[in-house]
Amino acid sequence: MVAKLPEKEHPKQSFGWAARDQSGVLSPFKFSRRATGEKDVSFKVLYCGMCHSDIHMVKNEWGSSTYPLVPGHEIVGVVTEVGSKVEKFKVGDKVGVGCMVGSCHSCDNCTNNLENYCPQMILTYGAKYYDGTTTYGGYSDNMVADEHFIVRIPDNLPLDATAPLLCAGITVYSPLKYYGLDKPGLHVGVVGLGGLGHMAVKFAKAMGAKVTVISTSPNKQQEAIERLGADSFLVSRDQDQMQVAMGTMDGIIDTVSAMHPLLPLLGLLKSHGKLILVGAPEKPLELPAFPLLMGRKMVGGSCIGGMKETQEMVDFAAKHGITSDIEVIPIDYVNTAIERMLKADVRYRFVIDIGNTIK
């Protein structure tokens, strides 16, 4: 049986930009989405954030990409249609979709609102949906998703600057809570000041932490302190600064995905401190056992968050006025944006103005 053309696969016409091969270059792409099922919510996409994962995927850096690939998992818009069994949303609601659109709903993780750890979790793009078709992400004009994976965006949040919360936001919010770094008065370090890092600073401050940014770029210091509200800034290559800060932090959120040594970061922790990795270098890192044992320290990971927690995070952001710092771009700038992201030349997230530029 010949595979259906993307345009003919489903009844609803969609238009977006897709990567066609490992060059990762995106170009216009006509495809289709399923009709709104009884538990589905369909929405017109207004904005989509550009996550570094989008780059990994369009360039097949994780070896799992199939083409054409429509990336985008920081998607916000306005509901256009709801299925007959949808209870929580109606036409006109402001909603978002993050990194997942499906899970098994029966395993221990799903039962505990941890769909993100479900072995059968379905990614928003580049994955196989329950019906065997490929999922397409938010660099497109419309979106359909099961109600369970839709997040309500409170009215007081601007849609464009809220989009990145759906991946970057939850990626740092979840471990701050899980690892107990959300208590007022704690000293939290944030390694790397990019899409994830700047969100970590904002959330940690809102939770009452004293925040130190640890970065290789001294020129980010002023931004970090004056605009993002960090309490202090450490240049990680400066041995003297790092030495003085040893044993001062309760926890560290490490957003860096390049290879880097863990020993100096472990040294910054107090006893019982926690080093949490949310960036994922491809090769193993060296973990010295001595500081771990002598200070009862731990190294843990975290990957986005479950749907309940994602909604909680968005509501928390609305209450505290937390949004991402963004540069809004038209869709045809997307390839240039990718080049700039590779040079970390963005403060701190590109957001594609889908509503006005994908027609």
Partner 1 sequence: MAKSLEVQKAFGWAAKDASGILSPFHFSRRENGDEDVSVKILYCGVCHTDLHSCRNEWGNAHYPLVPGHEIVGTVTKIGNNVKKFKVGDRVGVGVMVGSCMLCEYCNQDLENYCPKIVFTYNSIDKDGTITYGGYADMIVVNQRFVVHFPDSLPADAGAPLLCAGITVYSPMKYYGMTEPGKHLGVVGLGGLGHVAVKIAKAFGLKVTVISSSPGKESEAINRLGAHAFLVSSDPGKMKGAIGTMDYIIDTVSAAHSLVPLLSLLKANGKLITLGLPNKPLDLPIFPLVLGRKLVGGSNVGGTIETQEMLEFCAKHNITADVEVIRMDEINTAMDRLAKSDVKYRFVIDVGNSLYQQ
Smallest gap, in angstroms, from Cβ of residue 41 to partner 1? 27
Smallest gap, in angstroms, from Cβ of residue 38 to partner 1? 30
Smallest gap, in angstroms, from Cβ of residue 19 to partner 1? 22
Smallest gap, in angstroms, from Cβ of residue 286 to partner 1? 4
- Between 180 and 229, whose beta carbon lies closer to partner 1? 180
- Between 23 and 271, whose beta carbon lies closer to partner 1? 271
Closest CA to 3 of 124, 142, 132, 144: 132
Report how far apart, in Å, the C-alpha atoms of 174 and of each of 178, 184, 346 are: 6, 16, 24
Q: Are 178 and 252 in contact (CB under 8 A)?
A: no
Smallest gap, in angstroms, from Cβ of residue 224 to partner 1? 24
Smallest gap, in angstroms, from Cβ of residue 310 to partner 1? 15
Angular region, 237: left φ>0, alpha ψ -120 to 50, beta rest: alpha
Q: Are 278 and 196 in contact (CB under 8 A)?
A: yes
Smallest gap, in angstroms, from Cβ of residue 210 to partner 1? 17
- Between 89 and 178, whose beta carbon lies closer to partner 1? 178
Residues within the interface to partner 1 (CB under 8 A):
109, 114, 117, 119, 178, 262-263, 271-272, 277-282, 284-303
Smallest gap, in angstroms, from Cβ of residue 131 to partner 1? 25
- Between 205 and 274, whose beta carbon lies closer to partner 1? 274
Q: Are 108 and 167 in contact (CB under 8 A)?
A: no
The dihedrals phi and psi of 270, each to the nearest 5 degrees, come to -70, 170
- Between 119 and 185, whose beta carbon lies closer to partner 1? 119
d(CA 349, CA 297): 32
* Amino acid letter for position 173: Y
Residues 6 or more apart from 72 whose CB is under 8 A from it?
16, 48, 49, 50, 54, 124, 125, 137, 138, 139, 140, 352
- Between 57 and 235, whose beta carbon lies closer to partner 1? 57
Helix (H, G, I), strand (E, B) or coil at 57: helix
- Between 28 and 301, whose beta carbon lies closer to partner 1? 301
- Between 198 and 297, whose beta carbon lies closer to partner 1? 297
> Crossing angle for the helix pair 307-320 and 168-178, nearest 10 degrees?
100
- Between 107 and 328, whose beta carbon lies closer to partner 1? 107
Smallest gap, in angstroms, from Cβ of residue 271 to partner 1? 5
d(CA 203, CA 32): 37
Q: What number of other Cβ atoms are within 10 A of residue 87's Cβ?
A: 8
Closest CA to 175 of 298, 269, 81: 298
